[in-house]
Amino acid sequence: MQDTAYEARVAKSPERKAQFVTASGIPLQRVYVGPGFSSEAHGFPGEFPFTRGVQPTMYRGRFWTMRQYAGFGSAQETNERFRYLLDNGQTGLSLAFDLPTQMGYDSDHARAAGEVGRVGVAIDSVDDMDAVFRDIPLDQVTTSMTINAPAAILLAMYVVAAEQRKIPRDRLGGTVQNDVLKEYIARGTYIFPPRQSLRLCTDIIEFCSREMPRWNPISISGYHMREAGCTAVQEVAFTLLNGMTYVREALARGLDFDAFAPRLSFFFGAWSHLLEEVAKFRAARRMWAHLAREEFGAKKPQSEMLRFHTQTAGSSLTAQQPLINVVRVTVQALAAVLGGTQSLHTNSFDEALALPTEASSLLALRTQQIIANELGVTDSIDPLGGSWLVESLTDEIERRARDYFAEVERRGGMLACIESGYVMREIQNAAYAWQLKVERDEEIVVGVNKHQMPEKLNIGLQKIPERLEAERRAAVAAVRAERDAAAWSSSLERLRAAASGTSGGENLMPLIIEAVRARATVGEISDALRAEWGAYQAPHDF
């Protein structure tokens, strides 16, 4: 392989070691090309259209970020889990919030009863955010926060927690998910109506583009739609269409595409059909590169790169014979790596039953480390590129995804298709078709419809102590008793005044940060916005 431009770029990208060889000592090239190779269709790694990867040396330069999703119970318990994973080689943090936090309720709200700390950590005030990251240098690690409807509030708390440690916001690196459209489509943790939510999402993008240059202001997520039952084609199409919607909102705000596009990130699921998943990632990269250049006029190569985090498929894990989930997760993680992910979470084998234990979390992390260090798949870039099957699948996924593009545009765009229920119907139909195949034994799920065994569970499960809710209620009461009531009240009044209307006007992020400094809670800030915008009620006729 000879390509002067590519070799020049590689020369600027140091690699992990001087020589990459197989176990038998056979040298491995960086990237392979052969008959049928087209620089226009396939390109080289790190070059438009990025089918083969976003970096010229990919994992020969450095591994993906190993970012295990964690969060449960109290802030203190989550902090202990974070430090344990970092001590064992994790390279990035990913914070899971409990359901009340995701819905904008404090731990003492009536609707929080029975859910506090159950599926993630309970965060009520900036004090809790500070406790989650105690003894963790916020300017040296990157943190991903899986939060959507109240994303602006949790990001503000992260900013203020860092501020209290004298760390300026422009030194913070990480991601806030902030993808509320997929909440209406698949996940359900929305608070405000779609158009007001889009305003808040765009406020975050605008704020970060100006004040947090190392922060990804949105992670456009196909993962949750895939978990709801969509196909690989639908995952690519609807994720990129959501991305186009956010970009158009930012452009309408007057933002320059190249000012924020390099910090857009994406989030996909990895399922067990190894070759289709690899092709899916390659097709998504290529499609976004063309959209960025042709639809949005990107001028920087970084604006054309689809950078993504991957999580293995939680809904593919079975409560039956849970230990065999280790195999599923390994194959799914391998698909993500062969597909060129920038960041990866591997699920724990016990997650169909409970939140992961310390031991199962460590095994999930070790799975990534074995793939990185022992399999040899990181020694050559895009190792499945050039396979007739993989290239054909890549092309076909792109073709079918573009059919969805045309249909969604014909129906008025993604927001209109969400409001009409079209996207949800498409996903529900795909999920139903899959379930019928399982029930007819046309698709085999080991341990479920074939190779069953009597259940003999001898694994310890994570337990959330019953005392937690009372402790959290007391902590919220203490925050309210100790803060400056006048500063708290005035900060929320200013936020409500600025939130009036559905679009345009003042960016709300500085006002939310001000409210967080005044020790306003997640629920109180959410209530201030609910008072202006109302709470969204999903239609039930689709």
Instruction: Identify whether residues 15 and 149 lie together within a single domain.
Output: no
Instruction: Identify whether residues 68 and 50 lie together within a single domain.
Output: no
User: Is residue 3 pLDDT above 70, yes or no?
Assistant: no
User: Is residue 117 pLDDT above 60, yes or no?
Assistant: yes
Mean of the per-residue pLDDT values of the chain? 95
- The answer to whether residue 206 is domain-embedded is no
For 324, list phi and psi in degrees, rounded to 5: -75, -10
Rounded distance between C-alpha atoms, residue 322 and residue 447, angstroms: 9
Instruction: Identify whether residues 377 and 283 lie together within a single domain.
Output: yes
Please report, rounded to a whole number, the percentage of residues in the chain having pLDDT higher than 70: 98
Q: Which pLDDT value is given to residue 349?
A: 97
pLDDT in tens, 431-451: 999 999 999 999 999 999 999
The angle that helices 358-374 and 75-87 make with each other, rounded to 10 degrees, is 30
Rounded distance between C-alpha atoms, residue 54 and residue 82, angstroms: 29
CB 237, CB 225: distance < 8 Å: no
- The answer to whether residue 284 is domain-embedded is yes
CATH of residue 390: 3.20.20.240
Domain encompassing residue 376: 1-54+222-449
Q: Stretch 20-26: mean pLDDT, rounded?
A: 95
The angle that helices 522-533 and 194-211 make with each other, rounded to 10 degrees, is 130
Which residues in 498-537 are b (16+ Cβ under 10 Å) and which e? bbeeeeeeebbbbbbbbbbbbbbbbbbbbbbbbebbeebe
Rounded distance between C-alpha atoms, residue 327 and residue 335, angstroms: 13
User: Is residue 541 pLDDT above 70, yes or no?
Assistant: no
Distances (CA, A) of 283 to 306, 307, 392: 10, 13, 10
Instruction: Identify whether residues 48 and 110 lie together within a single domain.
Output: no
- The answer to whether residue 254 is domain-embedded is yes
User: In the 8-state DSSP scheme, what is residue 121?
Assistant: B
Token pair 């699948």 is found at: 393
User: Is residue 41 pLDDT above 90, yes or no?
Assistant: no
Of the residues 415, 449, 483, the one at which a domain ends = 449
- Dihedral sign, CA of 371, 374, 376, 381? positive
Pairing of strands 92-96, 65-70: parallel
- The answer to whether residue 203 is domain-embedded is no
- The answer to whether residue 329 is domain-embedded is yes
Instruction: Identify whether residues 361 and 235 lie together within a single domain.
Output: yes
Q: Which pLDDT value is given to residue 8?
A: 81
The angle that helices 194-211 and 232-252 make with each other, rounded to 10 degrees, is 70
Rounded distance between C-alpha atoms, residue 60 and residue 46, angstroms: 13
Instruction: Identify whether residues 338 and 418 lie together within a single domain.
Output: yes
Say if residue 8 is exposed, middle or buried (CB neighbours under 10 Å; 0-12, 13-18, 19+).
Answer: exposed
Distances (CA, A) of 471 to 58, 75, 116, 206, 464: 46, 12, 10, 37, 13
User: Is residue 503 pLDDT above 90, yes or no?
Assistant: no
Say if residue 463 is exposed, middle or buried (CB neighbours under 10 Å; 0-12, 13-18, 19+).
Answer: exposed
Instruction: Identify whether residues 235 and 375 lie together within a single domain.
Output: yes
Of the residues 393, 415, 449, the one at which a domain ends = 449
Greatest Cα pair distance, the chain, in angstroms, is 72
Cβ atoms within 10 Å, residue 540: 6
Q: Which pLDDT value is given to residue 13?
A: 83
Which band of pLDDT confidence, cut at 50, 70 and 90, is reported for residue 454?
confident
Instruction: Identify whether residues 229 and 319 lie together within a single domain.
Output: yes
Rounded distance between C-alpha atoms, residue 384 and residue 33, angstroms: 11
HEC string of 140-198? CCEEEEECCCCHHHHHHHHHHHHHHCCCCHHHCEEEECCCCHHHHHHHCCCCCCHHHHH
Nearest to 231 by CA among 375, 88, 426, 418: 426
Say if residue 13 is exposed, middle or buried (CB neighbours under 10 Å; 0-12, 13-18, 19+).
Answer: middle
Rounded distance between C-alpha atoms, residue 51 and residue 44, angstroms: 8
Which band of pLDDT confidence, cut at 50, 70 and 90, is reported for residue 291?
very high
CB 445, CB 318: distance < 8 Å: yes
Say whether 89 sits in a helix, a strand or coil. coil
Please report, rounded to a whole number, the percentage of residues in the chain having pLDDT higher than 90: 91
pLDDT in tens, 381-409: 999 999 999 999 999 999 999 999 999 99
Instruction: Identify whether residues 265 and 337 lie together within a single domain.
Output: yes
Instruction: Identify whether residues 169 and 247 lie together within a single domain.
Output: no
CB 412, CB 76: distance < 8 Å: no
User: Is residue 1 pLDDT above 50, yes or no?
Assistant: no
- The answer to whether residue 310 is domain-embedded is yes
Rounded distance between C-alpha atoms, residue 317 and residue 355, angstroms: 13
- The answer to whether residue 208 is domain-embedded is no
Token pair in block for residue 257: 């595409």
- The answer to whether residue 210 is domain-embedded is no
Q: Stretch 349-354: mean pLDDT, rounded?
A: 95
Which band of pLDDT confidence, cut at 50, 70 and 90, is reported for residue 255?
very high
Instruction: Identify whether residues 333 and 428 lie together within a single domain.
Output: yes
Instruction: Identify whether residues 299 and 425 lie together within a single domain.
Output: yes
Domain count, the chain: 2
Of the residues 414, 449, 484, the one at which a domain ends = 449
